Amino acid sequence: MAMVGLFWITDDSVYVGAEPVGTASGVRLSADGVEALGIDHGRSWSWSEVRSIDVRDVAVRSTARRFATLAFDSLVVAVTGDGELPPAYTVAVETADGVVEVSVVSAVVGGIYTPDEYALSRTLLARLADGGTPVDVLLAWRRDHVDHGTPPREEREALLRKWIGDDRE
């Protein structure tokens, strides 16, 4: 597994947010299409049925504010022993039949994304939905890097740029 932007990439699937466990809700992207997972969902669409995929309520902060928040949260956990799950956000899948909203848990430590990683991830979601970038591109990268975990922030952003066709460094 590796986390790149809003995506949790496994050997055979890409999840928006963390891979759900048990009956938790989630959104899985595969070569076949989009699947809303969880007790209240259990729906799937082929890529030709999907008009758009977007996210809402994602925690976004500058790198400095993100580190400050993570440091504070770590201190609270160390002092009180009381930790929290990463925050959830909403994935909205639009088809001709309407919009289905699914709550997913953030895959990134602390649940906070940098503005660049968030913006690039949203652009990639649009490219996936419109067929400009196939999910197989992300899965091929994972297969080629199976022995590696989540890359550092700069490499994640470079991957997102590559996947959306933005070659600037």
Helix, strand, coil percentages, rounded to 5, for the chain? 35, 30, 35
* pLDDT surpassing 50 at residue 72: no
C-alpha span between 107 and 26 (Å, rounded): 11
Residue with more model confidence, 136 or 11 = 136
Between 72 and 148, where is the model more confident? Answer: 148
> Which has the higher per-residue pLDDT, 74 or 25?
25
| Interval 88-115 mean pLDDT | 89
Give the domain ranges of the chain: 2-155
Q: Residue count of the chain, please give it.
A: 169
Q: Please report which confidence band the pLDDT of residue 61 belongs to, taking 50, 70 and 90 as the band edges.
A: low
Please give the model's pTM, rounded to 2 decimal places: 0.83
Strand, coil or helix: 115: helix
83, amino acid identity:
G
Long-range contacts of 31-34 (CB under 8 A, 24+ apart): 31/134, 31/135, 31/136, 31/139, 34/93
**What is the rounded average pLDDT of the residues 100-106?**
92
Instruction: State pLDDT tens for residues 34-53.
Output: 999 987 777 999 999 999 99
Query: How would residue 65 be classed by pLDDT, with cut points 50, 70 and 90?
Result: very low
pLDDT confidence tier of residue 67, bands split at 50, 70 and 90: very low
How far apart CA 126 and CA 114 sit, in angstroms, is 19
Percent of residues, the chain, with pLDDT higher than 70: 82
CA distance from start to end of the chain = 25
Q: At 118, is the pLDDT very low, low, confident or very high (cuts 50, 70, 90)?
A: very high
